[in-house]
Every structure is written in structure tokens, then in C-alpha cells.
Amino acid sequence: MSVEKAIRIQLNGESREFNVTAGESLLALLRRSGLTGTKRGCEDGACGSCTVIMDGAAVNACITFAFQAHEREVWTIESIGEYDDPSPLQKAMVEEAGVQCGFCIPGIVMSVKALLDEIPNPTHEQILENLDGNYCRCTGYEKIEDALHRTIAETSGEEPQWTR
Amino acid sequence: MDKVKEFKVVNKSVDKIDSMQLALGKPSFVADLVPEDALIIKMLGSPHSHARITSIDTSAAEAMPGVHCVLCHENSPRHLHLTAGQGYPEPSPYDTAVFDYKVRHVGDRVAAVAAETAEIAEAALEKIEVEYEVLEPVLSIEEALRDGSPVIHDEPDVSHPLPVPFQPEKNIVSEVGMKEGDLDHEMETADYTFDHFYETPYAQHVPIETHVSFAYLDAADRVVIVTSTQVPFHCRRIVAQALGMDVKKFRVIKPRIGGGFGSKQEMLLEDVCALMALRTRRCCFWQLTREENFRYGRTRHPINFRLRTAMTAEGVLTGIGMEAVCNTGAYGGHGLPVVGCCGSKVLPLYRWKHIDFDAKVVYTNLPVGGAYRGFGATQAYFALESQLDEMGHAIGMDPVEMRLKNHIQEGEGSPVFAALGEGKAGVEMTIGSCGLSECIKLGAEEIGWGRRTLPEEKTGRYRRGLGLATLMQGSSIPEIDMGAASIKMNEDGSFNLLFGATDLGTGADTVLAQIAAEELGTTVDMMLVYACDTDLTPFDVGAYASSTTYLSGEAVRKAAAKVKAQILGVAAEMMNKPIDELTVRDANVVAADGSEVTFSAVAVYSLYERNQFQIMDVASHITHKSPPPFSAHYVDVVVDTFTGKVKVEKYVAAIDCGTAINPKLAEGQTEGAVMNGVSYAICEEYLFDSKGRMTNANMQDYHIHSLRDKPKIKTILVPSYEDTGPFGAKSVSEISINGAAPAIGNAIFNATGARLRRFPFTPERVWRAIREQSTVPSPSPEAVLSI
Ligand code: FES
Ligand code: FES
């Protein structure tokens, strides 16, 4: 059996220790630790449904080894909003009907968060760049764009640089 | 039913009831709910397209520590069944075993292991020793039908539950057809005739959640299956049949589904999970990898068409002959119903007098066709709407005018409806609601059809083209499908709404809650929806055939009407007033004199005070019609004539779905279907090597469209009122996937003068068509270097 190694992750604001094997992905670690909001769609870095934020950048947890998160800060969907206090994007997604099956949504929420944390009012090209790896098969992205537009207007306090 | 057109809950865009749960990432899907100590199942897939297993040795795998069970054909029950979820008895063959001694496509089941971890299960698969007698594979429709071709289903126990022309010895799954008038004569005498071949590719749904299930034994020793399925009741029946056990042994629970689009109208994992759970007495969990999902999951059937059409010099359509040959791959699955829909959902759109429809389904050693949004209509509309464009062009008639002149209208029928059903005759029908003319006109305005020029008027490297396709679908399968719902009242005036219908991300739970709330005179937040659990919820055939809103919705409305009558009865006793003076409004019962009691007071009275009983009822619904939604799709594309790259800039979908129960969700259904259709038309295609092995079985090489690829999509909901649907509703979910391929093909023709009769419209294919067919000049060598 493969050898286990102890790592420490600053996970959703809490310092946590885990024993991981060399080949274990961050996605597998998160999901077995009860953080199932991060989804598994391809395990190939190709769908975006496993997106989490590591040291400020959106990464695909399925192609990140768990040990790579050692001594780093990881945020997952579980840290973003609750029923009584959803994030502006989650609220907009609900109200603009951007959620259909919802399997892609946590990944999209995390990708957008990473972007807006850095660039509060991005250009459309920056949004396309940012969301290029997040696939949604249900919505045709229209209502997701509606929700994004509204969120950017709300959170940046500015008129978005692109129109709906 | 009265035509209620002023609604309080229906026709309003209330928030989808599960969307906050999903946006917060709460545990909702099958893989989120699996117990921590579950065994992990992994499957050994066939490396060959066609082979007989001559020996299989699982002893080394079984001996590995951590391995709990290995299944293969030697130790599993053999009861041939159909994996496709359909009405029973099904119009499709029993040609599948839990594990077979023969494999019929790459990725087909050979064996499966349940082990403590995925790593152990995978290591165990490598220890299974299989010897194959490799057989000649059948890799195309032509090969399947060739005399002396290898027989794919030569097992003696293969059978068909219905009397249809099933000829496995010829690789023919079924045939279906109809005749009306005299097409051959019409083809000889008409002013204009057309005769062309069209092909459609292998493609897949690619839901972001792959197939996933787990099963365990409960304390009473029954098998509980938690699974991502569109058809929980069919799944329960099929698992029982496949394992040779009683239906009562199984309970199927469907939590949230991570997208289906038809792929999950199939029992693909549940029999193995159940059998593993029975053998190991442990919870057993199986999720397909993305690669397995491509190889072993279902696909859209590739269909080849020959289309003959006739018309007068004035552009009146008179005759159509459609020959369709459908490749269902290694198992019969949904082949016959799919190819039937090439006729039944497509031919009635125009008023043909002479109709020949002739369709066949064949086996090949390629991946298995399944149900996929659009269900045969998608493929057939590519042929029909492309050819219609060509017909208009031949006589200089605008495609808009051509369609307005010929499409079916309210009050009209079609001989096709009565002729084509599912494995039997269909049901006669006249169209009760049709807003297609309106769709065509509004869509033309939105896309700016007036600026359309002819191919010969364009110049330059980048050429803009506009294209149109018009469409219809159906709403449920008449006199076959049934949906049922129950409603129970609680003391705070809330209601438990239970039904067997399955929301696969579409918003069906919300739409059905709106229907119930409207009928009961309350609000959506007072409806507690639970679906679906075969132990608790009433039967429903499941999410397919565009049936949930129209069919299950009417079951819900009927159940709500019955519960409302009980509420009024209790209130009459409480208020000492005649029942016919009472109505419901805003969660109150209101009398003619203005006095009222709250729903909560009614419920408390009925549960605790006098003549106590549970206010509760159940209703079922079948339909005698399948009223079509109608739609007009317009696209604006730019073709780079140097490279053949097609960019779809704008897409307009104008749709008549009757009353939109939830307009934003109806738009979402339309936009999602449109985008899936555009992706299918532009880039999606299974590629195979010479042995029939898919070479692009991952999401990098099988590209689906991302946000970057999205055109500007404009949905226009055109209201009509369908008397037979709940509050005037028809279906909305499937129709809009049918338009992209023909509309984009027509726009490419409009841009370049090149007609493509096969898609996806990849740069290479478009570039070739331009070079071969049109007068668009080739770029100069300097220009090529600058690309
Ligand atoms: S699961 Fe990680 S990108 Fe798809
Ligand atoms: S909502 Fe289903 S994949 Fe995006």
C-alpha cells in the first residue's frame, strides 16, 4: 500500500491536518473530508466543476495533488455563503435562473470569485478567459451571464464594462 | 377546463426551488450522499469491438486483500433485458445480459470488481485474465446490412417483447414506415423534385455529472438504490428483471441529477450495484469515469437519410419520401422509438399530400445509441430543413415565405399522427394550438431578416449568412405515458407534493409546485416537493418525451383540484356555509359574504378538532394527444472562406410552448438546448479508429462549447393556449436542440453558396465544400501565409 504523508492546509480559514498518499488529488481529499460541494466531472482538468481557490488563484482540484496544498490556503464553495447569507453571485444565480442541474455552479462560483477578487470590474474578454474552463451543459450560459453582469454591477459599484 | 389566463403563480418566474441549495454546494447529488465506508466498483471494459469471451479467470483478483466481489458472466444471473427506460412492454429488444459471454463494442461490460478503495479495485481489474476470440466487427450501417455480415446478436435467448419485425440474424432491430397518397407518381409529375442524402454524426449528451449510483441493503434486507436516473420506476422494473427478482425487493431513490438530456433514461449501473450489494452486504458505489462515460454511456444515434421532396412552381409542398437508417450500435436501446420520431415529430410540420416513410434500425459494433433530447427529430430536421432551404432557393422563394405558406395550422391534422406510434400505431390528433406563424415573424424581425442577401451577392474573405429552420416536437407519448402525484396537507397550511416525475435540472419540481400552488390558491413556498422515491412517491414514467410539464403537470393539477375540494368541504363544515359559496384565495377559504378561514385553520380542524381525517389525495393522468410546441430558429453566421471556420454570432429562438409555466425556466430550457445544438452542429463528433475504438473519449478532444463559443442568444416566448395542458402549457425542453444544425447549414449556404449535407461543420468540412461547390475564390498564397 502507498505511504501516507501528513500535510497541513489552511482550509476555509481553518488550519487542518490530513494524511494523504502521494497520488491523491486535492479533489479526492476534499470530498472524502466531507466537502462535497466541489464536484467531480472529468478528473482530467477539462470541465471546471472541481474549481477551488488556492492562494488566490482558481485551480482544478482534480489535477492538483493533495500534497501540493501543503502549507497553502484553500477555499472551497462551502466557505462562500449560507442560506441566510448567500454571496451576491449565488443570489444572482438563483434569481436570474442561472442554476439548472447545478452541478457546474460551485466551480463557476469559485472561478468568478477568484477573478472578481482580483479585478472587480473585468472586461468581457477577461471573463471569457476566466470561465473558459468551466463547462455548463444545461444553461447555454445566457442566464449565467445575466447573473454575472448583475453581480459585477452590485459588487464593484460600477457599470460593468460590457453590456447584456 | 376553463381558460384561466390570469394567473397568480403560474406564468411567473419564481425562483427555482432547489437552486440555492445547489448554488451553495450542499450535498445533493448521488456522489455527495454515498456512505464513507462504501465499497468502490470498477468495471473492466472490452478492448474489442466484437469478440467472444472464451475464458475468464478472476481468481487472482478475488484473492487480493480488500477485494470483496468480482462479477462476470460466469457468476451473474442471465435474464436478457433492455437497458432503455420505456413504457412496458417495450418497443425494443431484450438483448442485454448483466454480463455476457460476448462483447459487442469497445467499452462493453466484461467484469466488475467491488473493493475497499478505487486503487485496489483498479489493481484487481488488471489481475482478471480474459481470453477473447476476436470476431470481425461491423462498423457501419452498410456493413451491418451486407449479406453475410457477422451477426452481432447471435445469442439464442435474444427476444422482442412486441410483435415488430425484429431480425437479429440480419442485424436489423426493427423497421417502421407509412404511406399516404402516391409519392412515386408525384415525384414523376410535380413541377419540382429534389432527392438528396444526409448524414448525422455520433455525438453525446456529455452531462457534467457522469453516470453514478450506489446500492445497499436496508435493515429489512431490501435493496436501496440511490441513482442519477431520469426513470426511477423503469429502473426498478429493469433491475428486478435483469436479476430475476421481484420488484418489491428494490427501492430506487433519485436525488438531484447533474444533467441528463436523455442519457440517464437508461439502466446502466444499477443492476451491478444491486448485485454487488446483495453479494457483499455492503454499500457499493459506482461512478463512471469520463472516458467510460463516452465509451460505455449512450449517444445520439447516427442516422442516414435519403430525402425526396416535391413541390409546385408556386412553392406549395406536395410530397415527401424519407428513408432513414438508424445505427443503434451494439444494443437495441431506443433505436425504434428514435427513428419513429424522425417521422412522427417531423413530417406533420408541413401539409404534404403524398408521404412515404421508411425507417430501419440496425445493430453495429459501435457505441450504443440512447435517448437524447430531440430524439430522432433532431437528426431528421437537419435533412428536412436543409432540403426545404434548397427548394425555396430553386424557385427564388424566401425561406420565410415558404414556411408560412406550408406549415400546419390550428385545427388541422396529419395522417402521420395516427400512423406512427411507439412499436404500434399512433393516435390521431388535430392541432389545438399553433403559434408558429407568429414565431416565424417575430424571429425574422429580431434577426433582421430584411438585410439578407443571396450568396452570389457576397464578396470578400469573411461572408455573412442568415439561416432559418422551423420545428415542432411533441408533449408526452399519448395513451402510453402516465404520471401521478399525491398531495397531503399539513397544519400550517403547507402541502407535501409527491410525484414520480424526475427533475433532471430542468426545473420540473418548481414548475409542478407552481401548478399545484395555482390550483390550490397558495404560494410555491408552501409546497414541499419530494421526488422521486419508488417506495413513497406515486408512479411516473419519468423524464422523457417532453412529458413532465404537460403530462405530470396535469396529474399534479388534478390532485390539487381534489385536495382543494376536500379543503372546501372542511371549511364548509367549519363556517357552516354551502360549499358552492366557497372559493380559495391567498391560502384562505373565502365565502361569498367575505368571511374567511385560513388554510392553516382548515388543516388544524381536519387533523385535531372534529370528524378528523387527513386532507390528501392522489391523481393520475394519461394524454390522448401529444400537442406539439412550435419554434422558428434564426442564425446569423460569419464564414471565413479562407479557413472554413464558422462563427455563429447571433441565434434567435422564437418558441410557442403554450403557457410558459415559468418563463425564465422556459427560456433557460430553450437557451440550453440551443447551445447544445450549436455545439453539436459545429464541433461534436465521435471519432473512431479502424477497429471501432473511439479516439477522442475525453473532454479535451471531444469539445463541447464553452462560454467563449456562445453566440448572442435571444429567446422569444410566443404564448398560445393548449386546452389539454395544465393552465394551457405544452412542452419546451427538447424542441430547441433541433434547429441549430439545419439553420447553421442554411446560413453557410447563404454565406458561401456551399451546401453541406453532413455536419459537424468543422473548418475542414466547410472549406472543402466551399472549394468543391462554390465560386468563392481561393486565397492567394500570400493571404494563406498571413492566416
Ligand atoms: S473534475 Fe476537475 S476539471 Fe473536471
Ligand atoms: S447547470 Fe447543469 S451543468 Fe451547468
Q: Do A137 and B207 touch (CB under 8 A)?
A: yes
Q: What is the pLDDT of residues B337-375, one digit of tens each?
A: 999 999 999 999 999 999 999 999 999 999 999 999 999
Q: Do A138 and B668 touch (CB under 8 A)?
A: yes
Q: What is the pLDDT of residue B787?
A: 65
pLDDT of residue B774: 79
Same domain, B600 and B673: no
Indicate the residue of B20, B259, B710 with minimum beta-carbon distance to A138: B259
Which of B231, B259, B287 terminates a domain? The answer is B287
pLDDT tens per residue across span B681-733:
999 999 999 999 999 999 999 999 999 999 999 999 999 999 999 999 999 99
Residues B611 and B631 in one domain: no
pLDDT at residue B783, as a whole number: 72
Q: Return the bridge partners of B299, or none.
A: B369
Q: In the listed set B287, B322, B338, which residue is the last one of a domain according to the structure? A: B287
- Grid-cell match 423497421, residue found: B175
Q: Is some CB atom of chain A closer than 8 A to the CB atom of B684? A: no
Question: What number of C-beta contacts closer than 8 Å exist between A and B?
Answer: 186
Q: Which of B291, B164, B284 is nearest to B217 (CA)?
A: B284
For residue B413, being part of any structural domain is answered with: yes
Torsion over CA: B427, B431, B432, B435 (sign)? positive
User: Which positions in chain B touch A49 (Cβ < 8 Å)?
Assistant: 208
Cis peptide before B163 (omega within 30 of 0): no
User: Of B253, B287, B321, which one is at a domain's C-terminal end?
Assistant: B287
Mean pLDDT of A91-97: 98
Q: Write down the mean pLDDT value for chain B.
A: 97
pLDDT for res A2:
65
Q: Model confidence at B766, in pLDDT bands (50, 70, 90)?
A: very high
**pLDDT category of residue B2 using cuts at 50, 70 and 90:** very low
What residues of chain A lie within 8 A of the CB of B205, using their CB? 137
Q: What percent of chain A has pLDDT over 70?
A: 99
Asked if the model's pLDDT at residue B4 lies above 90, the reply is no
Q: B596 is in which domain, residue-wise?
A: 19-26+482-622
Reported as a single tens digit per residue, the pLDDT across A1-50 is 567 999 999 999 999 999 999 999 999 999 999 999 999 999 999 999 99
Domains and CATH numbers, chain A: 4-79 (3.10.20.30), 88-156 (1.10.150.120)
Among B652, B648, B650, B628, which residue's Cα sits nearest to residue B441? Answer: B652
* Alpha-carbon span B396 to B655, nearest angstrom: 27
Per-residue pLDDT at B541 exceeds 70:
yes
Residue B308 to residue B306: CA distance in whole angstroms: 7
Asked whether residue B320 falls in the same domain as residue B466, the answer is: yes
Is the distance from the beta carbon of residue A32 to the nearest atom of ligand 2 less than 6 Å? Answer: no
Q: Using the mean position of ligand 1's atoms as its centre, give its distance from the Cα of residue A45 in Å.
A: 5
Q: Is the CB of A41 under 6 A from ligand 1?
A: yes
Whether A127 and B707 lie within 8 Å, measured CB to CB: yes
Res. B423 pLDDT band, cuts 50 70 90: confident
The confidence score (pLDDT) of residue B782 equals 77
Instruction: Using pLDDT thresholds of 50, 70 and 90, give the confidence band for residue B1.
Output: very low
- C-alpha of residue B418 to centroid of ligand 2, in Å: 37
Total domains in chain B come to: 3
- Say if B171 falls within a structural domain: no
pLDDT digits (tens, 9 = 90+) for B491-514: 999 999 999 999 999 999 999 999
State mean pLDDT over A59-86: 98
**Which pLDDT does position B776 carry in this prediction?**
81
H helical segments located in B661-754: 663-682, 740-752
- Tell me the C-alpha distance between A108 and A96, whole Å: 15
Q: Do A37 and B24 make contact, defined as CB atoms within 8 angstroms?
A: yes
Predicted ipTM of the assembly: 0.98
pLDDT score at B3: 47
CATH of the domain at B542: 3.30.365.10
CA B659 / ligand 1 centre spacing (Å)? 38
Q: Using 50, 70 and 90 to split pLDDT, how confident is the model at B169?
A: very high
Percent of chain A whose pLDDT exceeds 90: 97
B117 touches A at CB < 8 Å: no
Encode pLDDT of B193-220 as tens digits.
Answer: 999 999 999 999 999 999 999 999 999 9
B660: pLDDT strictly greater than 70: yes
B441 shares its domain with B565: no
Are residues B339 and B326 in contact, defined by beta-carbon separation less than 8 angstroms? yes
Confidence of residue B621 (pLDDT cuts 50, 70, 90): very high
The predicted structure's pLDDT at residue B678: 98
**Any domain includes B233:** yes
Predicted local distance difference test score (pLDDT) of residue B779: 77
Cβ(B131)–Cβ(B293) below 8 Å:
no
Q: What is the pTM of this model?
A: 0.97
User: Are B400 and B548 contained in the same domain?
Assistant: no
Is the residue at B710 inside a domain?
yes
